[in-house]
Amino acid sequence: MKFGKELKSQMVPEWQEAYMDYEFLKNLLKDILHHKKDTTPAPNSDHPSGLTRTLSHYRAFSGLTSVQRSLSMRSTTSSHHEDIENHPIVVNNVKGLDGEDGYVTTYRGAGEDDGEQELIFFNRLDIEFNKVNKFYRAKVEEVMKQADELDKQMNALIAFRIKVDNPQHAWFETAVDIDKFASTTSLSTSNSSSGRGPSKRILPEQMDKIEEDRSLRGLRSDDSDDLSSRDHRISDEIRHSSGRVVPEVTMSKSSRSSTDSDSVSGRPPSLEILKRVTVNKAADTPLSTIKNVLNVPVDTNLKFTKENLSKVEDQLKKAFAEFYHKLRHLKSYSFLNILAFSKIMKKHDKITSRNASKSYLKMVDNSYIGSSDEVISKLLDRVEATFIKHFANANRKKGLDTLRPKAKKEKHRVTASLGFLAGCTVALLFALVMSVRTRKIVEKDGHGQYMETMFPLYSFFGFIVLHMLFYAGNIYFWKKYKINYQFIFGFKAGTELGYREVLLLSFGLSVLALASIHANLDMDIDPKTNDYQQFTELIPLILVILIFLIMICPFNIIYRSSRYFFLTCSIHTFFSLLYKVVLPDFFVADQFTSQVQSFKNIEFYICYYSSGGYKVREHDCNKNTVFNVFTYILAPLPFWWRMLQCVRRFFEEKDAIQGWNSLKYFAIVVSFATRTAYGKNNSNEWYIIAWVTSIVAGAVAAYWDIVFDWGLLNRKSTNPWLRDKLIVPYKSVYFAAIALDVLLRFSWIQIVLDLEVPFLHEQSMIAVIAILEIVRRGVWNFFRLENEHLNNVGKYRAFKSVPLPFNYEEDEDA
């Protein structure tokens, strides 16, 4: 694989704009190469073609001998000066207008034939390097601040553990332990500094205790010295070992003052912290939401119980895992960019036959990004050590498995099972068509009765399977175009479903549904009993119950983590006002809005089986007053949920856009209600009202899809009528998606106009309209997540914000 493709494949998707633009620089080098070919005179035809090669060999040998001769004659004092004079570039560190350091390359060959092209190349190279160096510096400073915060969180956690495990004697025993630690450490330090080994008073069994107590001092404490002096010492060691300049890492003022005051006082610093710590507000729950509405004060005092300790540990585990993930990405970012600059400079030297890479790469090596790798590496080691000791019971394998989740591997049995179930689906569909045609079922008297009763029951499974197939397609294209859907949805690493797994589930469900259809496809009434077999009529209900039981199954089978993720989002959607709205929740709610017909079918399930109509395959649900009332309530329920989510976000985020979005969903609910009323009353008044409300709702929804959800129709964009950044390389795809979304948004016209297709039953026509809406949602899903991904890229948002359990009062006063 070429380096350019490898660089793209290993980029952090949300940081891609911050990486060196390798392809652009490579194109500049191609321009230099083309210019050299165009300006190089053709060889003289009077000389044989082999003479050029001979002369080149002679020149190479002559240059070698001249170099040897000059080396023997040059003095030590003039060597460095002449070396600098022979360099084609000089790189200087300058301070920009914004006060930040930057690097400027002076090219000495600007007056040569191809000097202008090389000058453009080095100017662009400086821009790319300064961009990379600035971004990396900002991210390193960010992780150092987070390390300080995790230091304090760990001190509070350890003190919390002590109070929970031994609330009666914790203060005294810990004070004695830390006093021992202070005396032994100081003695060990003084002995080692004077050239002697550690004191004989430190027994081997005491070393574990010393190491444990050292971890109380924080993530970045590996000696009895304070953090600042330790990092100066590390920097000195690295300078001596590698010749690099390492940026100094110092502790924040609040942390340094806290440590100093603790060391001066006689109290143990770990437990003294508890006097300045409160518990952060818990994540939103229905109870906390109700308390917030009623203005009930939140109790943030520490309660030393094992249950609270478990919650605190879980929060810090997630915080450490996310922090470690960020450090690894930062280390990879540094490595890839330094390698990219090395590759591009070697290409430059090869094309121009100059030796500019030595000077430039020396500057890269001495810059911030080139010299601070050891700091990140040491921080990674300390995070590992802390996590293993405090969250994995000193089990290194367990700790590293948590910190470094393994990439999900494609399993052959998934592919094999998928192929088998897909084949079964095709075979059952073919058998179903052949059975209907050979038995002439459509011409029998029971055909209409079957379509009114059994078809709505089985079409429910068809809608779900189709939605899953489109979701599998979405996953495939998200992965193809590097859209980080795992991060956007917040999936736990290694547990997200790939498109193969989703296809496996969808074909598995289709096989069950088609097999059950074959089981009760008999259109004739039994002449002896004058009724249908009750067991075969119960098959659809049994299948629904089976799916529900699989969804809530507590055993780790059939992708439990994904099932529970969906159930959690569904519960948050059902109780929209009681939970804080996040993207996975409203994304699932949007999927529900495209399954309105499925909600109608669920209502029909309840009516059909509760009334006993399944015994004779007849129903009078359409004449049932309760059923008709619930049609107005149950079918548009997803739109109500989505509207309530927007209302909550409007009041929480003070975002007017969410207020307008809630009105959009309210308009859709009104249009749905008026169309339903027209279908039942069929009067001119309801006809006009249905038309007006439906047109308004459809136009607003289509505009919202394209402009707000997809970010398109920007006429001032660099891509006219689209947006500035596009992931799909074909603009026609976006225009086709816009046209399709508008067209399918108005598929309700068939209902208002009462259009009939001679060869389709009324229930079949309803199913076709429902299928078109699922197709529209499948297209919407891709572009909605593409727009969300680009928003994250624009803000370099590549990591989750994990809430920390403790809050320091000193932070609030600062």
pLDDT digits (tens, 9 = 90+) for 388-406: 999 998 899 999 988 987 7
Give the residue from 342, 375, 406 where a domain finishes: 406
Number of domains composing the chain: 2
Provide the pLDDT for residue 43. Answer: 55
Report residue 504's pLDDT band, with 50, 70 and 90 as the boundaries.
Answer: very high
Q: What is the dihedral of CA 203, 208, 212, 213, to 10 degrees?
A: 0
Q: 246: buried, middle or exposed (CB in 10 Å: 19+, 13-18, 0-12)?
A: buried
Distance between CA atoms of 439 and 125, rounded to whole angstroms?
75
pLDDT per residue over 552-593, tens digit each?
999 999 999 999 999 999 999 999 888 999 999 999 999 999
Task: Return the higher-pLDDT residue of 107 and 470.
Answer: 470
The confidence band for 184, taking pLDDT boundaries of 50, 70 and 90, is very low
Q: Is 663 within the bounds of a domain?
A: yes
Q: Do 742 and 671 lie in a common domain?
A: yes
Give the pLDDT band of residue 248 (cuts 50, 70, 90): very low
Q: How far apart are CA 458 and CA 537, in angstroms?
A: 11
Same structural domain, 375 and 416: no
For residue 246, the model assigns a pLDDT of: 35
pLDDT tops 70 at residue 226? no
| pLDDT for 33 | 87
Residue where a domain stops, chosen among 383, 406, 429: 406
Q: Are 145 and 293 in a shared domain?
A: yes
**Residue 83: inside a domain, yes or no?**
no
pLDDT exceeds cutoff 80 at 532 = no
Tell me how far CA of residue 671 lies from CA of 101, 226, 604, 747, 749, in angstroms. Answer: 60, 68, 22, 13, 12
Better-predicted residue by pLDDT, 481 or 810 = 481
**Same domain membership, residue 571 and residue 655:** yes
The tens digit of pLDDT for each residue in 677-728 reads 887 777 888 889 989 999 999 999 999 999 999 999 998 899 999 999 999 9
Residues 586 and 487 reside in one and the same domain: yes
Q: Please report the pLDDT score of residue 67 as a whole number.
A: 35
Does residue 417 share a domain with residue 394?
no
Structure confidence at residue 86 (pLDDT): 58
Q: What is the per-residue pLDDT across 604-614, written as a single tens digit (0 to 9) for each?
A: 999 999 888 88
Q: How confident is the model at residue 81 (pLDDT cuts 50, 70, 90)?
A: very low
Chain centroid to CA 393 = 29
**How many other C-beta atoms lie within 10 A of the C-beta of residue 316?**
24
Report the candidate in 147, 154, 699, 130 with the shortest Cα–Cα distance to residue 363. Answer: 130
Residue 463 CA to residue 459 CA, distance in Å, equals 6
Q: Assess if residue 30 is contained within a domain.
A: no
> pLDDT tens digit string along 265-306?
334 445 677 778 888 776 667 777 777 777 777 666 778 888
Q: Is the pLDDT of residue 499 over 80?
A: yes
Domain residues for the domain of 703 are: 412-794
| 130 CA to centre of own chain | 27
Do residues 150 and 219 make contact, with C-beta atoms less than 8 angstroms apart?
yes
pLDDT higher for 173 or 35? Answer: 35
Residue 332 inside a domain? The answer is: yes
The per-residue pLDDT for 735 is 96
Domain edge (last residue) among 377, 406, 435:
406
Q: Are residues 588 and 705 in the same domain?
A: yes
- For the ranges 220-229, 429-438, 761-770, which has the lowest average pLDDT? 220-229
Looking at residue 512, its pLDDT comes to 95
Which residue did the predictor score with more confidence, 211 or 739?
739
pLDDT of residue 299: 67
